[in-house]
Amino acid sequence: MASSNCRARVAALLISVLAGSGDAQAAGDTPALTVAPAPSGPAGLATADPPALRYGVLYADAEGRSHVQYCDLKNFAFKSYAPPAPPQYVGAPPGDVASIAYAVLPVGYVGPWHAAPGPQWVVTLSGRWSVEATDGTVMEQGPGEIQFNADSGSKPQGPDGRAGHLTRQVGDVPTVQLIVSVKPQTQGRGTEPCQPAP
């Protein structure tokens, strides 16, 4: 239960930082978070002091195959985010926010093979869901876990032409998600999974 509450607080922190990342970075007092490869494992708070926020990444390689990788956001600053509130860990994840939306996957939902419409962070608020990459890897996430979708460069694979990912709702309650789309960078992007600002 404590782990679930911690994940939810970290997700809320990420959301608040994403929503204000432009202003915080312009002021120069909030560090941009560095991104590091992480060992395979669930998303959420990987370490607490200093914090590292682990998230799952769905990405396409140079051949257009989709894969799952885990990465860590680091370089949090310990400061008051809204003075006079006491200090907390704050950082600005890569990417400028383009839009924020909610989604609800009904029980039994299956989204056929497709690529993300653009780079986006997906925060699971309640329920469970999964994505299957074209390499056969399945990443399942639940409340407080974060995923970055960067598979828009995927290409049809195999005899059935699978591209991108297959989305499934998991369990007997709907899945509620917060989707934060980020603006693509004009200089393009490599195929490194832990560079979440395509």
Task: Answer yes or no: are the C-beta atoms of 94 and 194 closer than 8 Å.
Answer: no
State pTM to two decimals: 0.78
What digits encode the pLDDT tens for the residues 11-44?
Answer: 444 444 343 333 333 334 666 666 666 666 677 7
Measured from the Cβ of residue 173, the count of other Cβ atoms closer than 10 Å reads 12
The count of residues in the chain is 198
What digits encode the pLDDT tens for the residues 41-57?
Answer: 677 788 888 888 889 99
- DSSP string for 121-157: EEEEEESEEEEEETTS-EEEE-TT-EEEEE-TT---B
